[in-house]
Amino acid sequence: MIKLNFNKMKKITSSLAFILLILSACNVSKNIETPKPALPDRFRSAAPVDDTTSIADISWKNFFTDPVLQKLMDSAIAKNYDMQIALKNIEASQLLFKQVKWNYIPQVDGNAAANATRYSNNSLNGLSAAQYLGSNLVRDYSASIDISWEADIWGKIHNQSKSALAAYLQTIEAKKAIQTNIVTSVSQGYYNLLMLDAQLDIAKKNVRLNDSTLHIIRLQYDAGQVTSLAVQQAEAQEQAAVELVPQFEQNITIQENALSILAGELPGAIERHATLDSMTVPADISAGIPSSLLSRRPDVKSDELALMTANANVGITKADIYPALRITASGGVNSFKASNWFNIPASLFGVIAGSVAQPLLDHKELATKYEVAKVEREKTVLQFRQAVLNAVGEVSDALVKIEMLKAQQSIAINRVNTLHHATANADLLFKNGMANYLEVITAQSNVLQGELELASIKRDELNAVAELYQSLGGGWK
């Protein structure tokens, strides 16, 4: 008899599984495809070229070739805490993605229980137990396996898996984005450090130049050729240059500390051998075509994956509105006596049940969640379009920066050369009594400012190249 019951249950289960296989083909929501934003043929300020390659295709180790800079980047990528947190996020998201796959498998629980109940002598249960069992102390022993399974009729579990996959892939893109930021931040910090080194040398050189001029003016004062005003103005000019030295030394220390922390190290000095003048900008900087941003930029890819999540959430909330079919089964052994608890087949029992739950009156909560999910999906589409637009804009900005800074640097170099000649002439004329001290002081002040400005322009140009590399999606390969 027990064998027949289990055979019946097997047939019922097989029939239900066949029906569910047909119903599972239902798709209660239609996904929105990734939009294809209108993109220009080339970036603004980019020269028209037939070559579609981009500097973003170059690995960061081949793009940034300075050994000290590479060492800093290696350390930052390995030890930076933002990067380590990103790796932990990937690990956690991967575990959640693997766990969601198990939603297709029935939930199985094991249960073993033993209990004793003493009924009142004057209760109906107590009288019945005493009559049939000879005692009002009733014992019950059971061991069972319980199975529960919700049929994925409307694709709810499928959409949960898609959402988990998108979340996992987003953590990977987030890690790429952090690495591109680290590469750019380290390179720009390093370039700023080299600029400060150059400006410190310029200030010290100007101090020596002013000291030489002050010495001559003092000799002239002793000879009665100039007044004390000339000495005072020369001293003030020298003090202005001297004041810059501790200022640059302070900024160098702060920049070294910032780079050390970015590299995951305690604040300390950074040994370097390169100079700002030794750093060169690549002659051929190719940005490629704008459409390549869709596959290279981690932030754009992340927004594209967010649409995948939004589509899945719409499917999940829509499935919640429809009936849910749940199948449960339980089987095991049960007995009033411990001695025959596992007496097979007399102690065997089995139960199988199916239930359909359809929300009827839930204050429109499920329908509202579904509508909100659709609105959120529309927002995701807009965010994706905005991300693409911003990416194109960032590349265009970096390109025009590089172009204009090259022009500024050329002008600044000519200006500094002119000022050097002017300073030399003023000094020569002053020594021969053909120029006054004000002309010499003015010339020295101008050359100081010109050289400091030239160093800043060179740093800005190097930073602009790093920004272009990042905005094109380079730095994570």
Q: Fill in the amino acid letter for 29.
A: S
User: Is the pLDDT score of 363 beyond 80?
Assistant: no
What is the spatial distance between Cα 142 and Cα 157, in angstroms, rounded to a whole number?
33
- Among 145, 42, 177, 67, smallest CA distance to 351 is for 145
Within a domain: residue 144? no
- Going by pLDDT thresholds of 50, 70 and 90, the confidence category of residue 172 is very high
Q: Which of the residue ranges 132-136, 177-181, 187-191, 412-416 would you say has the lowest mean pLDDT? A: 132-136
Within a domain: residue 477? no
Q: What is the dihedral of CA 180, 184, 190, 195, to 10 degrees?
A: 170
Question: Measured at the alpha carbon of residue 256, what is the angle toward residues 255 and 262, in degrees to the nearest 5?
Answer: 90
- Among 241, 216, 223, smallest CA distance to 437 is for 216
Within a domain: residue 140? no
Question: Measured at the alpha carbon of residue 285, what is the angle toward residues 37 and 473, in degrees to the nearest 5?
Answer: 45
What is the spatial distance between Cα 250 and Cα 266, in angstroms, rounded to a whole number?
18
Q: What is the model's pLDDT at position 12?
A: 52
Task: Give me the half-sphere count of Cα atoms (radius 13 Å) on the Cβ side of residue 6.
Answer: 10
Q: Which of the residue ranges 13-22, 106-115, 278-287, 416-425 would you say has the lowest mean pLDDT? A: 13-22
Q: What is the model's pLDDT at position 335?
A: 85
Within a domain: residue 19? no
Q: Fill in the amino acid letter for 407.
A: A
Average pLDDT over residues 356-371: 82
User: Is the pLDDT score of 38 beyond 50?
Assistant: yes
- Among 316, 25, 327, smallest CA distance to 160 is for 316
What is the spatial distance between Cα 102 and Cα 43, in angstroms, rounded to a whole number?
47
Helix (H) or strand (E) holding 142: strand 137-150
pLDDT single digits (tens) 242-275: 999 999 999 999 999 999 999 889 999 999 889 9
Which tokens go with 124? 């109906």
Q: Fill in the amino acid letter for 77.
A: I
Q: What does DSSP say about strands 107-118 and 324-335: parallel, antiparallel, or unpaired?
A: unpaired
Within a domain: residue 60? yes
pLDDT single digits (tens) 42-65: 888 776 666 677 888 899 999 999
Q: What is the model's pLDDT at position 6?
A: 44
Q: Which of the residue ranges 82-86, 333-337, 389-393 would you say has the lowest mean pLDDT? A: 333-337
Sheet containing strand 137-150, strands side by side: 107-118, 137-150, 324-335, 348-357
- Among 310, 76, 34, smallest CA distance to 183 is for 76
Sign of the dihedral defined by the CA atoms of residues 399, 404, 410, 415, in that order: negative
pLDDT single digits (tens) 380-417: 999 999 999 999 999 999 999 999 999 999 999 999 99
Provide the percentage of residues in the chain whose pLDDT is more than 70: 92
State the Rg of the chain over Cα: 39
Q: What is the model's pLDDT at position 422?
A: 84
Q: What is the model's pLDDT at position 423?
A: 83
Q: Fill in the amino acid letter for 5.
A: N
Task: For tokens 């050329």, name the residue.
Answer: 410
- Among 404, 421, 417, 419, smallest CA distance to 457 is for 404
Average pLDDT over residues 316-333: 86
The CATH number given to whatever domain includes residue 207 is: 1.20.1600.10
pLDDT single digits (tens) 95-123: 988 888 888 888 899 999 989 888 888 78
What is the spatial distance between Cα 367 and Cα 373, in angstroms, rounded to a whole number?
10
User: Is the pLDDT score of 1 beyond 50?
Assistant: no
Q: What is the model's pLDDT at position 7?
A: 54
The DSSP secondary structure of 374-414, one letter per residue, reads: HHHHHHHHHHHHHHHHHHHHHHHHHHHHHHHHHHHHHHHHH
Q: Domain range spanning residue 262?
A: 27-115+152-323+362-471
- Which residues, listed in sequence order, are joined to residue 344 by a DSSP beta bridge? none
Within a domain: residue 109? yes
User: Is the pLDDT score of 13 beyond 70?
Assistant: no
- Going by pLDDT thresholds of 50, 70 and 90, the confidence category of residue 451 is very high
- Mean predicted lDDT score pLDDT of the chain: 85
pLDDT single digits (tens) 422-438: 888 877 877 777 777 77
pLDDT single digits (tens) 466-477: 999 999 998 998
- pTM of the full structure: 0.81
- Among 105, 92, 107, 102, smallest CA distance to 161 is for 102
What's the total number of domains in the chain? 1
User: Is the pLDDT score of 185 beyond 80?
Assistant: yes
Question: Measured at the alpha carbon of residue 153, what is the angle toward residues 151 and 156, in degrees to the nearest 5?
Answer: 90
- Going by pLDDT thresholds of 50, 70 and 90, the confidence category of residue 157 is confident
Within a domain: residue 234? yes
Sign of the dihedral defined by the CA atoms of residues 93, 94, 97, 99, in that order: negative
Within a domain: residue 93? yes
Strand boundaries in 119-136, DSSP class E: none
Task: For tokens 């001297």, name the residue.
Answer: 242
User: Is the pLDDT score of 218 beyond 80?
Assistant: yes
CA 29 to chain centre: 31
